[in-house]
Amino acid sequence: MTLLHTTRARRRQLGVAAAAAGLLATLLTAGPAAAIPDPGDPPARGKAAAGVAAETRQAIESGDVPGVDEVVHSDNIEHVTNLPKDALQGTNSDLAFQGRYAFAGNYDGFTIYDIRNPRSPKTVAQVLCPGSQNDISVSGDLLFLSTDSSRSDDSCSSTTQPASEKSSWEGMKIFDISDIRNPKYIAAVETACGSHTHTLVPERRNVYVYVSSYSPNAAFPDCQPPHDGISVIKVPRKAPQQAAVVNFPVLFPGEGPDGGGNPGAPTNPGVSKTTGCHDVTVLPSKDLAAGACMGDGILFDIKDPERPKVIDRVQDNVNFAFWHSATFNQKADKVVFTDELGGGGGATCNAEVGPNRGADGIYDIKGKGDKRKLVFRSYYKIDRHQAATENCVAHNGSLIPVKGRDIMVQAWYQGGVSVWDFTDSSRPKEIGYFERGPLSATTNVTGGSWSAYYYNGYIYSNDMAKGFDVLKIDDRRTDPAKRVRTDELNVQTQPDYFDRSHGWGRWDD
């Protein structure tokens, strides 16, 4: 382990742009994109590079798309500051928060920022520990880091090694952050098919970690099909070195080598075959979890965190290619699922792809107990069309805690950051946005906001290429959230902001 702004803003025209050059599924050339190539990715059918460049230049010149790196935002959003990437030059990934600190994942490791003054964040520590995608969470003195690339060993100095070799390692890494300026790597747990993402279910004595991974292969000794479940790790807080996998609940039981998840093509063309989960979000105060599992969305009970139980399962074989992530509303009577069409590298926010693919799917939760059902209500997608060179699709976001309303902020890669209201789950609407123009006017370069989360009065965005952004929204619809404070936030472990008995939130009077 090794320790190691922008120009002008103007209001975009909404819903007006040159038609983009088809669905691009190009992934990062310097490293993995947001997801390893997903089975549901459609074949690339875009125009030649010259055509893409010509359309992008025309869209910029006409004002339909901002210029390269130009910042635009709605009147109610302020771009407070930006910290460019420093020692860690890999792709920026997820975010977590604790007290005055933000923890930012990067494919090369992670960075800790002091955000006591959000207008002037400071870098506290940078830890070099390569292993995509370094999904990150914190709980007390422990920091958790996902490794989803086959490595020569579990150290931070490992090198890439084929997954077909039995000695290869991937899984969860655990750090001690009691000395915030000098994190210490203290434990590792190997998990089947690695750890693409993970979710914490914290208790007083233990932290349970739900590990999501996928894409098994008969040639991989530690990633065998059908792999239709998640790994559950138990981490004793006082002895994290004893962390171990305690269960692998099968979420999609079925006969045969392919298990019981969505079969994908040819049965469901353009849809991912389910071979595990991409992400799980838990709402501990309600003993609920929602899983975004490639070709399926699931709702499950986590009263016994070691033995989660599936309540309901849904598919969308028309518009969803890859179920990517999930967000509950505060009352736990809705779930927003995201579809990562194109694997995170496609230009899918355009007129050609349309408003329903690469979007959010909003589901109401109806019924009680084990009879609860997920009922589809509508799609939400940003209507600011992006250039043919911009990767854009629904990605990670969080609730903005406004009592009585369902409002969230969400990353859309080079589509930027969207603040939107889904209180009426059949009629979602955007209420604010921030974005940059394309990274390139000539070629498809992957970048943009990976995660955009609300924490204690500000919005923090980890841009894959541009670094750490701080935003602030001033709007009567979101202003009540400024009084809500929490001491720790891992977005996939959703707090109950308005139930003081659980100790999640508090109010500034």
* pLDDT, tens digit (0-9, with 9 covering 90-100), for 388-415: 999 999 999 999 999 999 999 999 999 9
Query: Is residue 55 within a helix (H) or strand (E), and if so which, with residue range?
Result: helix 49-62
**pLDDT at position 501:** 55
Q: Identify the CA nearest to 415 among candidates 382, 370, 451.
A: 382
Average pLDDT over residues 219-238: 97
Higher-pLDDT residue of 252, 20: 252
If pLDDT is split at 50, 70 and 90, which confidence band does 47 have? Answer: low
Cα–Cα distance, 468 to 85 (Å, whole number): 7
The predicted pLDDT at position 2 comes to 47
DSSP string, 352-419: TT-SSTTSEEEEEEESSGGG-EEEEEEEE---S---TT--B---BEEE---TT--EEEEE-BTT-EEE
Mean pLDDT over the full length of the chain: 90
Residue pLDDT, tens place only, 205-219: 999 999 999 999 999
DSSP structure string for 216-257: --TT-TTS-S---B-EEEEEETT-GGG-EEEE--BSS--SST
Q: What is the mean pLDDT of residues 276-283?
A: 98
Instruction: Output phi, psi for 129, to 5 deg.
Output: -155, 80
pLDDT (0 to 100) of residue 122:
98
Share of the chain above pLDDT 70, in %: 89
Q: Which residue has better confidence, 58 or 429? A: 429
- Contacts of residue 504, Cβ cutoff 8 Å, sequence gap at least 6: 285, 486, 495, 496, 497
Q: Give me the torsion for CA of 280, 284, 287, 291, rounded to 10°.
A: -10
Rounded distance between C-alpha atoms, residue 104 and residue 240, angstroms: 22
Q: Where are the domains of the chain?
A: 9-109+248-507
Please determine, for residue 269, whether its predicted confidence score (pLDDT) is greater than 50: yes
The structure tokens listed for 300 are: 């499950």
- DSSP conformation letters of 294-325: BTEEEEEE-SSTTS-EEEEEE--TTT-S-EEE
Q: Return the structure tokens found at 53.
A: 């460049």
Average pLDDT, stretch 379-385?
A: 97
User: Which CATH number among 1.10.10, 2.130.10, 1.10.8, 3.40.50 corresponds to the domain 9-109+248-507?
Assistant: 2.130.10
Given a contact cutoff of 8 angstroms between Cβ atoms, the answer to whether 484 and 476 are in contact is no
pLDDT of 172 > 50? The answer is yes
Provide the pLDDT for residue 43. Answer: 35
Q: Are 61 and 424 in contact (CB under 8 A)?
A: no
Q: Mapping DSSP to helix (H, G, I), strand (E, B) and coil, where does residue 285 land?
A: helix
